[in-house]
Amino acid sequence: MKMITVIGSMNMDLVVDTSRVPENGETILGNSFYTFPGGKGANQAVAAARLGGDVHMIACVGNDGFGTELTRNLHEEGVDTANVSYSSEKSTGIANIILSEKDNRIIVVPGANYELTPQMIEGLRDIIKMSNVVVMQLEILPETVKAVLKFCDELTIPVVMDPAPAKYFEVDMISSIRYITPNQYECEQLFGLDLDEALEMYPNQLIVTLGKDGVRYFDGEKHIHVEAIQTNAVDTTGAGDTFNGALAYAISHQYALYDAVKFANAASSLSVEKLGAQSGMPTKEEVEARLAR
C-alpha cells in the first residue's frame, strides 16, 4: 500500500505577467494574463501523481465553474477526487499571482478552502487510515490541519507539512509532523532562529528549501546540503509544491531521506521550466534522467 493523501487547497491561479509592479495609486499595462490550475494542495497532488503516485485529494471547492474545472484537472492527472467536496456557501479559492522580474507575488483568497472542516475530516478517517503518507499545507483552516495531525499521530501516519503561509503555523504542531519543508524565509518566521540552529534543533525532520542554493537538513551528526540543479527558470510558482509532492512520493516508496531529498530537488528544478504551477511538473523518468545528467 503506497497511497498518498493530500489534504489542502485548490485554487484557480489568476496570473499577470508584468515588467514591473505598479506603485500605490498607479495604473500600468501588463504583458499577459493566464488562468492556471493551482493551490498548494492540488499542486502537490499533481506533482506526486505525475511521478506515478497513487494520490487521493481531500479538499473543498465552490459550486462554480472554477471548482468544476479544478476538479476535472485533478481527475485527468490521475488523482482520486472522490473526496473533493463542493460548497454552496463560498466560491472556489483563487490566487492572484503577479509575475515580475523573475519572481512572483501571491495573494490567496481561500474561499471554499476554508469550508473543509474538522467534522468533514472526522467522516473521512477510513480514507486517511489507508494512506502511508499524508501531505498538508496551511491554506485550509488551522483547526482542520490540527484535526488531521492528531489523527495521523494516533495512527503513526507520517505527515509531510509545507508550512505555508507560515503565519498559520503553530510550533506545537511540530511533534506530529514527520517532515516539515519551509523555505528559508518561512523557516526564520517559524522558529526565529538562524538556519543552522533551526536545522540542528529538528534533525532529519526540518528540510529547508533554498531556491537556487538547493536544500539543507541536519542528519543528527552533520549538515547535509543538496545543491540546486542549474536550470532555465521561466516561472518558479509551484516549485516548492513539486518538491513536497515528490518528497511524499519518494517517502511512500521507502527512499532513504537523502535520496528522497535529491529526487525532490531534481523534480522541482524541472518544474520551473514552464509557465504555470503544474505545467512543468515532471514524470519519474524525467526526474531520473535529470539526476543521471
| Residues annotated as part of the active site | 241
Q: Least distance (Å) from ligand RIB to the CB of residue 37?
A: 8
Do 217 and 225 meet the contact criterion of CB atoms below 8 Å apart? no
Binding residue for ligand RIB (CB under 6 A) from 3, 6, 7, 40? 40
Q: Taking contact as CB under 6 A, which single stretch among the options 15-23, 32-40, 144-152, 185-193 is the one that binds ligand RIB?
A: 32-40
Q: Least distance (Å) from ligand RIB to the CB of residue 123?
A: 25
Give ∠ CA 171-214-156 in degrees, rounded to 5.
40
Binding residue for ligand RIB (CB under 6 A) from 5, 11, 71, 265? 11
Residue 38 makes contact with ligand RIB by CB under 6 A = yes
Q: Least distance (Å) from ligand RIB to the CB of residue 194?
A: 25
Binding residue for ligand RIB (CB under 6 A) from 5, 9, 183, 268? 9
Residue 115 makes contact with ligand RIB by CB under 6 A = no
Binding residue for ligand RIB (CB under 6 A) from 108, 247, 266, 267? 108
CB-nearer residue toward ligand RIB: 13 or 115: 13
Q: Taking contact as CB under 6 A, which single stretch among the options 6-14, 200-208, 250-258, 283-291 is the one that binds ligand RIB?
A: 6-14
CB-nearer residue toward ligand RIB: 7 or 157: 7
Task: Of 72, 76, 68, 75, give the one whose Cα is nearest residue 92.
Answer: 68
Residue 235 makes contact with ligand RIB by CB under 6 A = no
Which residues lie closer than 8 Å to 32 by C-beta, 6 or more apart? 16, 17
CA–CA dist 278, 50 (Å, integer): 10
- CA 243 to chain centroid, in Å, comes to 8
Q: Taking contact as CB under 6 A, which single stretch among the options 33-41, 79-87, 124-132, 200-208 is the one that binds ligand RIB?
A: 33-41
Q: Least distance (Å) from ligand RIB to the CB of residue 39?
A: 5
CB-nearer residue toward ligand RIB: 107 or 155: 107
186: amino acid identity, one letter: E
CB-nearer residue toward ligand RIB: 157 or 246: 246
Binding residue for ligand RIB (CB under 6 A) from 139, 180, 183, 226? 139
Tell me the number of residues near ligand RIB by CB under 6 A. 16
Q: Least distance (Å) from ligand RIB to the CB of residue 147?
A: 21
The residues of the shown chain that bind ligand RIB, judged by CB under 6 A, are 9, 11, 13, 38-40, 43, 95, 106, 108, 139, 237-238, 240-241, 277
